[in-house]
Amino acid sequence: MAESQYSFSLTTFSPSGKLVQIEYALNAVAAGATSLGISATDGVVIATEKKLPSALVDETTVQKIMTITPQIGVVYSGMGPDFRVLVRRARKTAQAYYQTYKEHIPVAQLVRETAAVMQEFTQTGGVRPFGVSLLMAGYDDNGPQLYQIDPSGSYFAWKASAIGKNMTNAKAFLEKRYSDEVGIEDAVHTALLTLKEGFEGQLSGSNIEVGIIGPDKTFKVLSEAEVSDYLQEVE
């Protein structure tokens, strides 16, 4: 087994007070496909590019936006496998909450619990931080909400945000376009336009994924056909 010199945590502080592994994890996120989210008055939309390594990949089996509970959905930028682990944990947390209280977990609480898991992996020996940032969208008694969770475990609530490769341009675009009074339909259009900004090639129902939660408080990943319909409205 490894000598004791090498059994310290990967997340020990550097002299400048940084945790270098977290910085690198954020780099992994920044190298990932762009994802964004917009919170509207009556719902939240999250969307991502579905850039596949080859045209031979069966894109119908690739799912980047996942449902955690019927009221909460999540998308990521970064490493897909890490994302799947977090989704598993979040789903279990949500179900345990439901089993205890027979009520659905409020969005903010699920965000907190998930962030706590991510933070654990920055302070435990022998593990590395998760290489994903999450955008969690939900609708509960406190209205529609959008949260970002980083590899460090810090989380922020956003009115609109983007993560991944094109995030700076996307955020600038969103800043210009966002308004407090925008409804969910307009938010979807804005989301698609924002994705279009940094996209190489033509947007279509098969190379992006969109998830919406509207006034019915039910999270839904749009089908390819539904995405194409929205894209047509935007063109």
Partner 1 sequence: MDFFVGIKGKDFVMVCSDTSAAHSIISIKQDEDKIVPIDDHKVFCIAGEAGDRVNFSEYIIANVKLYALRNGTPLNTKSVANYTRGELATALRSSPYHCNLLLAGWDEQAGASLYWMDYLATLNKINTGGTGYGSYFTLSLFDKMWHPNLTVDEATAMMEAGIAEVKKRLVVAPPHYIIKVVDKDGIRVVKTV
Footprint of partner 1 on this chain (CB under 8 A)? 99-103, 106, 108-109, 141
- State how far the alpha carbon of 12 is from the alpha carbons of 15, 20, 117, 122, 170, in Å: 10, 8, 18, 9, 33
As given in the structure block, the two tokens for residue 175 are 């800043």
Output the smallest distance, CB 169 to partner 1, in A. Answer: 36
CB of 110 to partner 1, least distance (A): 11
Name the pairing type of β-strands 155-157 and 66-69. Answer: unpaired
Q: What is residue 9's three-state secondary structure?
A: coil
Instruction: Report the distance separating Cα 13 and Cα 11, nearest Å.
Output: 6
Angstrom distance (rounded) from CA 194 to CA 152: 26
Tell me whether residue 124 or residue 142 sits nearer to partner 1 (CB atom): 142
Q: In whole angstroms, give the CA distance from residue 20 to residue 43.
A: 37
Closer of 85 and 157 to partner 1 (Cβ): 157
The nearer residue to partner 1, 12 or 100, going by C-beta atoms, is: 100
Minimum CB distance to partner 1, residue 192 (Å): 35
Q: Smaller CB distance to partner 1: residue 109 or 124?
A: 109
For residue 47, the cross-strand partners are 36, 210
Q: Which is nearer to partner 1, 6 or 101 (CB)?
A: 101
The number of beta carbons lying within 10 Å of the beta carbon of residue 219 is 25
Q: How far is the CB of 46 from partner 1 (least distance, A)?
A: 24
Residue 218 Cβ, how far from partner 1 at the closest point, in Å?
19
